[in-house]
Amino acid sequence: MFLRFSILIVNVLALYEGGKGVLQLLGKLPSGNVVFALTGSFSNPGPYGGLLAILIAILGAFSFGENSRRRKFDKFLVVISSVSCFVCLAILPATMSRAALLSLGLASIVFGFREMNLRQWIFDNKFISIILTILLLLFTSGFFFLKKDSAIGRFHIWNMEVRAIAQKPLTGHGRGTLLGVYGETQAEYFAEKERPEIISRVAGCPEYAFNEYLKIGVEYGLPAMSGVIVVIGLLIAVLLNLHSPFAYGLIALCVFSFFSYPLSAVDIQSPAEKNWRSVRYLVTFRLYEDAVDNLYPMYDELCGDF
């Protein structure tokens, strides 16, 4: 009953977010960002794509896994899970989130080996397996070159975060210090010597770590980061042993967390912080005077928040 109730909640969330994405693409609902047509309940299509990938992994594993084992589960729940999975899967490519597609792909591969006897199928169809592997590699390479600067920028961010961890590997720099430490580390990095032009082009001031594990390492140190990884690994192992569909959702979340910021995307913000995040886009459009006029009244409140 607990599993059925949990899957029902996931279905409600999947239909809500999938339906919202469809309406945003059709222009019936506004997105959370003027730059993107599709963001779901988020301000960026990246986290939205990650959420869809996690929901698809859970519902897909529930639908196909229970059918393959022929357990006496509610047929209605299996059907509605399949529909919800299809809706989310149809909208996922529109997010253009490579991390989401990769996380869903890896979760699906684990599901195939654990529940669908994929190992035997590969052994029986070696030639087809080789062709599919080549196509998958080409597809992955295409995603890299599709947004090459973005991918290189992500590697640069990780490089700076690893350097920051190396400065205080045991204790970290403290909670909420990531962005400040990142800026100092990047300044030192470019002051050391001249860097390649492409690195200078993609370097900037990111709002997020784009790697939840490295964020923990920067703020709390390597012991905390290692502990989190071990706990998550054990939890995945337990869920896989129980044949729980949530194991594959957790795998998708863990993979997505390596490339994006799912935990930071749901961070609770004060009203002043929300106003600041909406006003700062004025700077992007070089509306500096308007930005100052809007930001100055927030100064005292923001100082109190931070």
Count of CB atoms within 10 A of residue 30's CB?
A: 11
Q: For residue 13, give both structure tokens.
A: 């969330």
Give the span between the Cα atoms of 300 and 283, in whole angstroms.
20
For 206, the 3-state DSSP assignment is coil
Q: Length of the chain in residues, anyone?
A: 306
- What is the C-alpha radius of gyration for the chain, rounded to an integer number of angstroms? 22
Tell me the CB-side half-sphere exposure of residue 230, using CA atoms within 13 A.
6
Alpha helix locations (H) across 26-97?
45-69, 75-91
Which amino acid makes up residue 59? L
Q: Give me the residue spans of the domains in the chain.
A: 2-146, 268-306
pLDDT value for 248? 94
Count of CB atoms within 10 A of residue 187's CB?
A: 9
Closest-CA residue to 62 (of 37, 49, 87, 79): 79
Give the span between the Cα atoms of 296 and 128, in whole angstroms.
63
Give the span between the Cα atoms of 295 and 299, in whole angstroms.
7
Give the span between the Cα atoms of 57 and 111, in whole angstroms.
9
Residue 203, phi-psi category: left (phi > 0), alpha (psi -120 to 50), beta (remainder): beta
DSSP letters, 216-279, are HHHHH-HHHHHHHHHHHHHHHHHHHHTT-THHHHHHHHHHHHHHS-HHHHT----HHHHHHHHH
Give the span between the Cα atoms of 213 and 261, in whole angstroms.
10
pLDDT value for 73? 55
Give the span between the Cα atoms of 216 and 228, in whole angstroms.
9
pLDDT value for 272? 59
Quote helix, strand, coil % in the chain, to nearest 5. 75, 0, 25
pLDDT value for 69? 47
84-104: b (≥16 Cβ within 10 Å) or e: bbbbbbebbebbbbbbbbbbb
pLDDT value for 72? 55
pLDDT value for 281? 60
Output phi, psi for 297, to 5 deg. Answer: -65, -20
pTM score: 0.80
Give the span between the Cα atoms of 189 and 181, in whole angstroms.
12
Contact in structure between 190 and 200 (CB atoms under 8 Å): yes
Give the span between the Cα atoms of 197 and 4, in whole angstroms.
54
Mean pLDDT by 10-residue block, N- to C-terminus, for the chain (306 residues)?
Answer: 86 92 87 82 87 94 67 74 91 89 92 83 80 80 70 87 92 86 88 81 80 92 94 94 92 92 66 62 65 71 53
Beta carbons within 8 Å of 163's beta carbon, 6+ residues apart: 185, 189
